[in-house]
Amino acid sequence: MIDCSAVRTALGAHVLGALDPGERARVEEHLAECRACAAELAVLAPLPGLLAKVTERDVEQAAVQPPAHLLDRLLAEVARERRRQRARLGVVAAAAAAAVAAAVAAFAGLAPREARTPPVAITSPAPVTPAPVPTRPPTPAPSGAPAPVVSAGAADGRVAASVEMRPRANGTDLVVRLRGVPRGTRCSLVAVSRDDGREYTSSWFVDYYGPARYTGMTSFPRDQIKAFEIVTADGRTLLRIPA
């Protein structure tokens, strides 16, 4: 059995998809039964989505100077995101630092899977080691072909979603269209890779019933994505979308 403090410590790694399958199963089992930890996850879940807003220029600057400004910006966005929730700045800062470190490593030309740091024992904001000057892989030229879209509906006929996948230099940009989710639900989009890796790509708060559009990003290349899952903050899977 795993306790709350161990789960809190692992949550940052969990949202970044850095836990191994055994750890992930134990954390998810706990999250399904512990509202407090599930609420904490809801606070951290936006981080990978926020990372999608970090530009390559930000990362290049972060590689040559302390990324304080970057962290400040991420933290400000997280703060806005959870205006009414209680602050646990240490955990958020640690997760943000780990996220920025992962982004710096990813942009430094490492393969995305290697770039995912395993910061399981996050206790304080880790300093980001200056990375070598990034040698960027070429951005795929726009081909003009429509981006592939996958979609699915839940058995009850209410929840339905589609995900559009646009290849990018370090993964895949995602556009999610979702309908039928009850108002007030906090959802995340999880990308599942062919070897069963999982990444929280974005998280959002459903504020109306009709169709809504959200964007996210995964480090998985398009051809490595096996499926997407729409999951709630308390760990329920609303929908699985084969890709």
Report how far residue 119's alpha carbon sits from residue 13's, in angstroms, rounded to the nearest whole number: 6
Q: Are 160 and 181 in contact (CB under 8 A)?
A: no
Shortest approach of Zn ion to residue 128 CB, angstroms?
Answer: 29
Return the number of the residue (2 or 150) whose C-beta is nearest Zn ion. 2
CA distances from 236 to 47, 51, 185, 190, 218 (A): 20, 24, 11, 12, 21
Shortest approach of Zn ion to residue 92 CB, angstroms?
Answer: 17
Shortest approach of Zn ion to residue 137 CB, angstroms?
Answer: 40
Shortest approach of Zn ion to residue 124 CB, angstroms?
Answer: 21
Report how far residue 187's alpha carbon sits from residue 189's, in angstroms, rounded to the nearest whole number: 7
Residue 240, burial from CB neighbour count under 10 angstroms (0-12, 13-18, 19+)? middle
DSSP assignment of 29-45, as one string?
HHHHH-HHHHHHHHHHT
Hey, what's the torsion of the CAs at 36, 39, 44, 45, to 10 degrees? Answer: 130
Shortest approach of Zn ion to residue 85 CB, angstroms?
Answer: 16
Return the number of the residue (28 or 56) whose C-beta is nearest Zn ion. 28
List residues near Zn ion by CB under 5 A. 4, 34, 37
Provide the token pair at 132: 């070598």
First to last CA, the chain: 34
Shortest approach of Zn ion to residue 10 CB, angstroms?
Answer: 11
